[in-house]
Amino acid sequence: MTAITEETGVCPVCGAEFADGDRFCEDCGASLTGEAPPPGPAPDRRDIDLGTVAAVTDRGKRHAHNEDAMAVRVLEGSGIRIVVVCDGVSSSDHADDAAARAASTAAERLTAELSAGLGAEAATILAIGAAADAVAALGDSGDRTPSCTIVSAVVTASSVTVGSIGDSRAYWLTDAPDATPPRKLSTDDSVAAGLVELGVDEATAMSMPDAHTLTAWLGADAVGIEPHVRTFVPDGPGAVLVCSDGLWNYFPGADALTELALPQARTAPLATAHQLADLANAAGGGDNITVAVAPFPATSFPATSFPATSRNN
């Protein structure tokens, strides 16, 4: 993930522009510094399985490190599910620390506020604000200030509340014929999204060399942080998908993701998250991949064959 800077270069492999300080090309995944994956076995994949919600994060094929982070919670008693996914900005120092701190801080604040009875939208605003403060506390190192994106989802028995800054995404997926169709629930903060707002068609906007460049992020150098927050009320069965751009770069459309994830996502969220991560790797694995799946409505699921905490691939 690349934040806007004044300096750019050109990838020697694919010719795409990149920001000064980037270590990997966002288009093809090529190393821009000669950095190689660390020697020896690496924890390429980790997962979390809480039954009614599951998540997977994978290093991908091209990056030396995983700079994504995820946090998942289920509130005891209410069954409310909380998902947070953060993607470290590749041009920043300690991007993995920024993402990890943002994800854990937001999840804990959401848990506390929702448990105290605060509404999902208000809790989301406070949680993303707390995450922003936590990342900003890592310090300002000029052009390489630790930075990340964030997207959160609060899934209750009747609604889905999404908050975001950056371009990690949340989707509503359904194959119910009479339900509201599949859709993206989050709003991107990127050059491409800005062009679409100006009337450029999405395919053209996404083809621009700087399409993925961020216009908002979490970090000490971020200005005027205002999360996008919306609540969606499903009118049929389906699933909530929360992911980093390591997945949606390859499968950006809600309809395509629905075809890949359903009907399995309604009964096997962990298996679905692993499958989607596998598909992103098969498509190129050019970035870190994080996928979380929450079936709607929530039901109890039998244990899966995947381990609950980690899996190497």
Q: Is the pLDDT of residue 42 over 70?
A: no
- Residue 215, SS3? coil
What is the pLDDT at residue 13?
Answer: 44
The answer to whether the peptide bond before residue 297 is cis (omega within 30 degrees of 0) is yes
Q: Sketch out the chain's domains with CATH numbers.
A: 45-296 (3.60.40.10)
Angle between helices 95-115 and 120-136 (to 10 degrees): 150
Q: Is the pLDDT of residue 26 over 90?
A: no
| Mean pLDDT of the 200-208 span | 75
The pairing of beta strand 68-74 with beta strand 81-87: antiparallel
- pTM of the full structure: 0.82
What percent of the chain shows pLDDT beyond 90?
65
pLDDT band at 41 (very low <50, low <70, confident <90, very high): very low
Higher-confidence residue: 176 or 22? Answer: 176
pLDDT digits (tens, 9 = 90+) for 161-191: 999 999 999 999 999 999 999 999 999 998 8
Q: Is the pLDDT of residue 69 over 50?
A: yes
The pairing of beta strand 45-49 with beta strand 54-58: antiparallel
pLDDT digits (tens, 9 = 90+) for 133-148: 999 999 887 778 899 9
Ranges of beta strands (E only) in 156-301 are: 160-165, 169-173, 183-184, 213-214, 218-219, 228-232, 238-243, 289-296
The answer to whether the peptide bond before residue 263 is cis (omega within 30 degrees of 0) is yes
